[in-house]
Amino acid sequence: MPAHNPFTPEHDLFRQSVRSFVERELAPHAQEWDEAGLFPREVFKKLGDMGFFGMRHPVDAGGQGLDYWYVVAFAEEIVRSRNAGLNMAMLVQCEMATPVISEIGTAEQKQEFVAPALAGDKIAALGISEPDAGSDVANLRTTAKKDGGDYVINGSKMWITNGTRADFITLAARTGGPGFEGISLFTFPTDTKGFSVSKKLHKVGNLSSDTALLYFEDCRIPARYLLGEEDQGFYYIMMNFQGERLVAAVSAVAGAEQMVRDAIAYGNERQAFGRPLVKFQVWRHKFVEHLTAIEAAKRLAYRAVELFDDPETRPGAVKEISMSKLFAGDLVQKVAYDCMQFHGGMGYVTETDIARAWRDSRLVTIGGGTSEVMKEILTKLVPGL
């Protein structure tokens, strides 16, 4: 891995642009949008206009064809919004629902779906999980039956971020027999007859992101919306998961660091028993322990990024990505717990940044594959286990 800072001056300029925008346009609304349970649709357009969505997407899909370190800079800086629900929605837009279309889609699919999503004109969602099949992708039940020049889709999807207002869904459905070999991917416009949002889900955290239960009843789409080859969807999903898990790990580490820095600033202002709260040894030691673990987590994530960014080493990056998400997920929750405790009563007030971060951090060990799934993946990659 790079023995030094992997970011070029160009990366740093991009990072500063993201930071300035996020602190000016997004962070002031963190509590407002959480209370509303949604942020304005125009936020997608604003980020699209700034060029933040398309950094690593190819030019023929409306992107800029740059390296993955730009994604890292974006993921690390958007946490300054102090609203993980918004952050999740933005990352689904550019790093979860659209990359697989850019990689395996036709020129027409890229222009119809990816390009407007990167511009912020269309909202994207990723439709994999179902009520009975979350991490167990091979057992999904939504079907896509070939009928002439169309596919007819029936079933449901659950826990779908951006689900209540998505313009299209990168959708997994069963085209063949049982198990992982019978799954295909599709681009699915949500104005298709028979599609409906059954329910907006009310979550513990990430309150400003719309997460939905979706329903498909005899939804007919043209065969040209098939992504890649029929019955190869499971492999495409597993490939796509790597980027999803990696960006989740990177943003979780950045969020953990932000919590510690915020706590230290708070502790220098808050007096207790005649001295700043942060000067008590128990907390000073706790924070340096966390910062040490954060630095280790960042180095592990950056190693995974280096492997993922190179097409030759990307297929072999599964171990490092799984380790990174596993480690970052556990770490961010420990940090959130301690930082909330450090704030005392103020940490238990819902409108504070630390209370919001404490609620939101819980998702990291669940979304994109649970920590238990990460461990099971790793057991298959460690000789002797």
Other Cβ atoms less than 10 A from the Cβ of 370: the count is 16
Q: Which 8-state DSSP code applies to residue 202?
A: P
Q: Which two tokens stand for residue 275?
A: 């001295």
Other Cβ atoms less than 10 A from the Cβ of 25: the count is 14
Q: Is 342 helix (H, G, I), strand (E, B) or coil?
A: helix
H or E segment at 196?
strand 195-200
**Are 189 and 123 contacting, i.e. CB atoms less than 8 angstroms apart?**
no
Q: Which two tokens stand for residue 205?
A: 């955290």
CA of 87: how far to CAs of 55, 143, 182, 256, in Å? 16, 31, 33, 14
The distance of Cα 260 from the centroid of its chain, to the nearest Å, equals 22
* Active site (catalytic) residues: 244
Where do the H-state alpha helices sit in 310-370?
A: 318-342, 353-361
* Degrees, nearest 5: CA angle 379-245-111: 135
For residue 269, give every residue at least 6 positions away whose Cβ sits within 8 Å of its Cβ, in sequence order, or none.
276
Residue ranges of E strands in the chain:
124-127, 143-147, 150-161, 168-174, 183-189, 195-200, 211-222, 226-227, 271-272, 275-276
Question: Number of C-alpha atoms within 13 angstroms, CB side, residue 125?
Answer: 28
Other Cβ atoms less than 10 A from the Cβ of 274: the count is 6
For residue 96, give every residue at least 6 positions away whose Cβ sits within 8 Å of its Cβ, in sequence order, or none.
126, 240, 243, 244, 247
Burial class (CB in 10 A: 0-12, 13-18, 19+), 256: buried
